[in-house]
Amino acid sequence: MKKFAAGALLAVLVLLFTTALGLAFIHITGFPYTSDIEKLNICETSGFSREEVLQNYNAMLQYLSPFSTAEFDLPTMKYSASGSYHFAQCKALFRMTYLLGFASAVLLVLLIAKKAISRVMLRISAIITVAVPLLLNCAFLMNPDRAFVMFHLLVFEGKSWIFDPKLDEIIKILPVDFFVHCAYFLAALWFVGAAVQFALSSSKE
């Protein structure tokens, strides 16, 4: 039981670290949004030009940065107080994810330095790290819209995440499929984390 608990704790650290790493990549590079603009026909469905779409999307990302102290503001799109509050919640979630990711990275480095990670821990952690994205991917594949709604109900307070496109125009350029693509990208990083652990456990004596 102790070995399983240790492996599960390692899996949590790996999942937190890879999630923060993936979120940072999406945040810094704009992936997969820049390609999704064409793939999901965002300009056509929203009525905004590509230039406007990117301008407002980048303004949103800049606000969500943990290093930004600016108030929420969109250069050319209307937004409500409720919409602004939702993005404040998102900013807090981003900040917490980055902090937990950083703390997890530090703990992982310490565990590696002290050689406190055994083959059994790696194997258990790898299995759990694979199981999580498999379960989440199944949920998304079965019903992406419901999975999206359930995530928001669990994570966000109240109904600020329910946007009226007339009041909060940014929702027009943030289709559900974009968030699904982000989820798949994060899941892919979890799989990579699991693969690395399997490889390390096989190389351990």
Whether the CB-CB separation of 18 and 193 falls below 8 Å is answered with yes
**204: pLDDT strictly greater than 90:** no
For the chain, what is the domain count? 1
pLDDT of amino acid 202: 85
Structural domain boundaries, residue 194? 2-203
Token pair in block for residue 191? 């799989």
Whether the CB-CB separation of 45 and 176 falls below 8 Å is answered with no
Condensed to tens digits (0 to 9), the pLDDT of residues 65-86 reads 999 999 999 999 999 999 999 9
**158: pLDDT strictly greater than 90:** no
Nearest CA among 173, 186, 175 for reference residue 145: 175
- Rounded CA gap, 23 and 182, in Å? 9
- Average of per-residue pLDDT values in the chain: 91
Condensed to tens digits (0 to 9), the pLDDT of residues 111-129 reads 999 999 999 999 999 999 9
Give this prediction's pTM.
0.90
pLDDT band at 205 (very low <50, low <70, confident <90, very high): low
pLDDT band at 136 (very low <50, low <70, confident <90, very high): confident
Which burial class, exposed, middle or buried, applies to 44 when counting CB atoms under 10 A from its CB (0-12, 13-18, 19+)? Answer: exposed
Alpha helices by DSSP H, the chain: 2-29, 33-39, 42-46, 50-64, 81-113, 119-142, 144-155, 176-203
